Amino acid sequence: MKKLILTCVCFIVMLGFFPSIISAGEVTIAEGVAVIVGNNIPGARDKALDDALRKAVEQAVGTLVSSDTMAENYRVIHDKILAQTTGYIERYKILTEVQEGELYRIKVQAEVGKDNLTNDLRALGLLHVLKEKPKVMVIIDEKVGGLYGTTGWEEAGQAESTIMEKLLNAGFNVVDSQTVRANITRDKALRLLEGDPEAAAAAGLQHGAQVVITGKSFSKNAGGKLYGTQMQSIQATVQARVIRTDDAKVIASRNETGRKAHIDELQGGALAIKEASEKLSDVLIADILSQWKKEVYGRSQEIQVIVTGIVSYKQLSTIKNFLEKEMQGVKTVYQRSFTSGVAELMVDYGGKSSNIADELASRKFTGFRLEPTNVTPNRIDIKVIVRK
């Protein structure tokens, strides 16, 4: 009997030393921060606590999915998981809380229930290789040996076909090239091919693409026939730019070369272009994913806000002050321009553009309200409507 009691006591003591053995949750430490608005300290404290608990759940998600999956699907995770953190927090305790000027900080130790979290992540398809990448449109001009294209304007050339194939293999959604070429004139396409970001963005939006890859490819004889043979050395160059359609921002600009020996200059040129395009595709895909990860995983991105119908500069100052002082998640607001009642702002924000649009639309400003007219992941168009 004494031996049994001693065994039980030892087991209880061991549980005290190893709480993680009986804990089904993931224990994490996270810090939240909020801005104190209008001396409302209790409100700021609640927001800081919510921020800390959200970050705790986010850390737990990071232990269940790969960093690549986390990065590529951050928007889905944010909307479906991080927006309802209370359902995953089993218990928590506040380690420290402090007011620093206009900021309120809270550090917590939280236990996140992994069962519910795992089930919800699995339901979203995020525990396997799910890829959610932007829809891409590709249009590349091509000349082989001085002749226009390998197939003519109506169909994709070697460079365009190769880049599209690589994108598809990487899991991207790609706009059908024949559909694009059937709905775009040669003159309009020239503006894209010459590197006009606005033209590329407009064409991409027309076809539902978030990203446009446009550029040129060409090949030429690199110096006559190889000694003692009929083989020619053919060199190719492929140049391309990657343009985000919602704000016409160039997110990458690259070029690659290829070289092939062939008896026929046209066939050799096509092979050289294919080689250059394969190398270029790998680099462009890495660039696109890098930018994508910065936007969704870096928790901060630049969102362009275009405000029209501004009656006075005071109205603009009120809008900027709201974004800088009261909008949670906004780091900085840059005023790019203000001309004839139209202002361009660049907002460094750790969330979705739709969140900003929702806040601006619901805010009761003195003498006016704001009406969003267009919202995309990187741009918001909003109109000032004067109250009567």
Give tens-digit pLDDT for 7-56: 444 443 333 333 333 345 678 898 999 999 888 888 889 888 888 888 88
- Give the phi and the psi of residue 74 in degrees, each rounded to 5: -60, -35
Whole-number Å distance between alpha carbons of 29 and 45: 17
Q: Is the pTM of this model over 0.85?
A: no
Identify the pLDDT of residue 224: 67
The whole-angstrom separation of Cα 31 and Cα 14 is 30
Please state the three-class secondary structure of the chain as a single string. Answer: CHHHHHHHHHHHHHHHHCHHHHCCEEEEEEEEEEECCCCCHHHHHHHHHHHHHHHHHHHHHHCCCCHHHHHHCHHHHHHHCHHHHHHCEEEEEEEEEEEECCEEEEEEEEEEEHHHHHHHHHHCCCCCCCCCCCEEEEEEEEEECCEECCCCCCCCCHHHHHHHHHHHHCCCEECCHHHHHHCCCHHHHHHHHCCCHHHHHHHHHHCCCCEEEEEEEEEEEEEEECCCCCCEEEEEEEEEEEEECCCCEEEEEEEEEEEEEECCHHHHHHHHHHHHHHHHHHHHHHHHHHHHHHHHCCCCEEEEEEEECCCCHHHHHHHHHHHHHCCCCEEEEEEEEEECCEEEEEEEECCCHHHHHHHHHHCCECCEEEEEEEEECCEEEEEEEECC
Q: What's the confidence (pLDDT) of residue 349? A: 86
As beta bridge partners, residue 318 has none
pLDDT value, residue 126: 56
Sign of CA dihedral 344, 244, 329, 384: positive
Measured between alpha carbons, how far is 173 from 210 in angstroms, rounded to an integer?
10
Amino acid at position 296, single letter: V
Question: Residue 230: what pLDDT?
Answer: 73
Q: Which amino acid is at 37?
A: V
Nearest to 294 by CA among 229, 377, 376, 364: 377
Looking at residue 165, its pLDDT comes to: 93
β-pair type (368-376, 379-386): antiparallel
Positions in the chain short of pLDDT 70:
1-25, 63-76, 78-80, 82-86, 114, 118-119, 121-134, 145-155, 186-187, 224-228, 293-300
Looking at residue 328, what is its pLDDT? 77
The answer to whether residues 319 and 383 touch, using CB atoms and an 8 Å cutoff, is no
**CB-CB contact of 89 with 110 (8 Å):** yes
Tracing tokens 């909008």 back to the chain, one arrives at 327
What is the structure's pLDDT at 73? 66
